[in-house]
Chain A
Amino acid sequence: MRIVFKTSHDADIRLWKHGAQLFWYLLLLAAAVALPLLLDDFMLGEATNVLVWAIAGMGLMLLVGHAGQASLGHAAWLALGAYADTLLQTRAGLPFLMSLPLAAVISGLVAALVTLPIMRLHGIYLAIATLALSVLTEDIIILAEPWTGGVSGLFAPDIEIFGINFNRYTNPDGLYWLVLAITVLITLGYANLLRAPTGRAFVAVRDSEISARAMGVHVARTKTLAFALSAAVTAVAGALMGHMAGVFNNETFNIVISIYLLMMIVIGGLGSIHGAFLGALVIGFLPQAIALLRSALAGALGIGSITIPGLETAIFGAILVAFLLFEPRGIYGRWIVIRTWFELFPFYRRDMFRRQRSYLKTERMR
């Protein structure tokens, strides 16, 4: 096992635990930057997609994994981000560099306002309230047709920064690098938050509201802040999704997307930024994996490849069930166990990571 000798407070504060870790993160970043040189346009588009899902995943992870509040309706914030960003560009004529952060701010403020009255709800009740909000959002989009285009939807303009066009087909490399830059910025902000008082307040509220209050943490305020930040980050992902889709309507961000997002971070591993990325990889490359598997099967069995509706969703659901039953800590949790096993070899004890209460608390005490 690696022993880290800490000789200064900075050793505790900085984002990496030891030099090797910094090296791996930098290598990963370099590989990510070099990706357009390695992949064809189609796969690069998928990689961009994964990054956008990772942003959305980080948005939800902040709320669920770190502040411990459930949301079954995060597609609402994706939608708000997409609509706000597009409308700010088309109606207010703002450039992308202003419309994107503004869309995030708007979503954060709306989230803070909307969640204020439901903030005293716990666990399952909060989840239901967010679900209702998400369903209502779909209906509001239809009702607000003059703005949103209703069922026929909105066309998102191409992203343009200082005259450079970031269309997903004509400039896939540029779009990828742009999304990568946004992802890196959000990841850094998220990691910073976690090592600062705000992040610790989130964790405190997640793990024990009662002692958080005794420590002087304002629980309702902290939860509202978590909701607002989460919605803002998710809105960024929504805006990017809007640009990449080109056109979107009330059904683009439906309740199934909310649930996908939640399943994604559970599979990735609740309570870590890594989990958001790992979950995004699974959700992003699952369709490809299924397509590969299907054509392989079709080849082996001599039948034509047929599309089965709902197969993807069902396989995703099955993966989730498997994780919840066998590894509730998700991919990242499993990785930690494997890493520890190698580091300690041959001294690993079986009960070292014995299953504990999960992050989201049971209401069984009621």
Chain B
Amino acid sequence: MSLLELDNVTLAFGGVKAVDRVSFAVEEGEVFALVGPNGAGKSTIFNLISRFYSPQEGDIRFDGHSILDLAPEDIADLGIARTFQNVELFEQATVLQNLLVGRHRHRRTRLWQDILFTPFVRREEVRHRIAVEKVIEFLELEPYREKYIQGLPYGVRKMVEMGRALAMEPRLILLDEPASGLSVEETQDIAFWIEDMRKLMGITVVMVEHDMNLVRDVSDRVLALADGRVLAVGTPREVQTDPRVIEAYLGPEEDVA
């Protein structure tokens, strides 16, 4: 059984089909990339999985169960974490607090316990902090842990967002353009981290990415989209050499770098 399955999913805004009968399955433990030109429907697919949008047709299954009757708030509980294309952090909070919000799905304390800050809450907080410190160490965020998000450089913000998703200890992580706006060195770091996420943490990764080098380096399989439709699925090499993909995505004359 696949971890995540999209089955004939269609979503139209007005008359425009943003996602048109898209089906694919992501296996547990793989790195799966969605590629395609702007407006192909990649981020829309993420928003469908996050339940911010509801498809007009088709089904989305996680771990064999349909998620269409769940609210967006319930998706995190399944162990699905995500990042956003235009980094969405809690701006007036510190890096540490942002990461701790990622622990929300592991919360076990009740309101009255929080208000009294009972020993149980203290133990829980220590537990959350141990998990978060691991993420801080992993993503090398130590210099920023007490800093407020506002005023942090863009690259760091992207790392914090990824860290917040990892703090959830998810089974599946959706990365929306993790390398966009980053330098070459930072992009290489991302490649290592994605590898580690899969190998060390056992997290399945689905990402939207324009940087074909990164996609080729880290992904097991690639799905190419154009105008909301699936063009091809396969290994990075297969997809990159698929004539339909070259035609629609890379353009007829462009050199495949």
Report A's interface with B, CB cutoff 8 A. 9-10, 12-13, 189, 192-193, 195-201, 203-204, 206-208, 210-219, 225, 271, 354, 356-357, 359
Contact = CB atoms under 8 A, between A and B. Distances in A.
Contacts of A10: 122, 126
B139 to A, nearest CB: 17
Given A200-B101, A359-B92, 19 more contacts: A9-B129, A193-B114, A196-B114, A196-B121, A196-B125, A197-B114, A200-B97, A200-B104, A203-B92, A203-B101, A204-B104, A210-B84, A212-B101, A213-B73, A215-B101, A215-B105, A271-B92, A356-B151, A357-B150
B52 interface: yes
B169 to A, nearest CB: 12
Contacts of B114: 192-193, 196-199
A195 B117 contact: yes
Residue with the greatest number of chain B CB neighbours at <10 A, chosen from A10, A206, A214: A214
Residue with the greatest number of chain B CB neighbours at <10 A, chosen from A10, A197, A207: A197
Interface in B153-191: 164, 168
B29 interface: no
Interface residues of B, number: 44
A192 B114 CA distance: 6
B129 A12 contact: yes
B116 interface: yes
Contact of A206 (B52, B75, B81, B92): B92
B90 interface: yes
A13 B74 contact: no
Closest 3 pairs between A and B when the two form their complex, measured CB to CB: A216-B76, A196-B114, A207-B90
A284 B219 CA distance: 63
B45 to A, nearest CB: 15
B168 A13 contact: no
A215 B125 CA distance: 17
A199 B102 CA distance: 13
Contacts of B124: 197
9 contacts: A13-B126, A200-B101, A207-B93, A213-B52, A213-B73, A214-B82, A215-B164, A356-B92, A359-B92
Given A214-B50, A214-B82, A9 B116 contact: no
Contacts of B122: 10, 13
Contacts of A208: 88-91
B175 to A, nearest CB: 13
Contacts of A211: 84, 88-90, 164
A201 B104 contact: yes
Interface string B71-86: 0111111000110100
B132 to A, nearest CB: 10
B12 interface: no
Contacts of A203: 90, 92-93, 97, 101
Contacts of B97: 200, 203
B257 interface: no
Interface string B2-43: 000000000000000000000000000000000000000000
A32 to B, nearest CB: 22
Contacts of B107: 197
A211 B157 CA distance: 14
Interface in B87-142: 88-93, 96-97, 100-105, 107, 109, 111, 113-117, 121-122, 124-126, 129-130
B73 A218 contact: yes
B6 to A, nearest CB: 18
Nearest to B125: A13
Contacts of B90: 203-204, 206-208, 211-212
A173 B73 CA distance: 50
B93 to A, nearest CB: 5
A196 B76 CA distance: 19
Contacts of A214: 50, 72, 75-76, 81-82, 84, 88
Contacts of A204: 90, 93, 101, 104
B126 A215 contact: no
A197 B109 contact: yes
B106 to A, nearest CB: 9
Nearest to A15: B117
A357 B81 CA distance: 27
B84 A356 contact: no
A354 B113 CA distance: 37
A193 B112 CA distance: 9
A231 B151 CA distance: 34
A192 B101 contact: no
B72 A213 contact: yes
Nearest to B102: A215
A254 B129 CA distance: 45
A217 B164 CA distance: 13
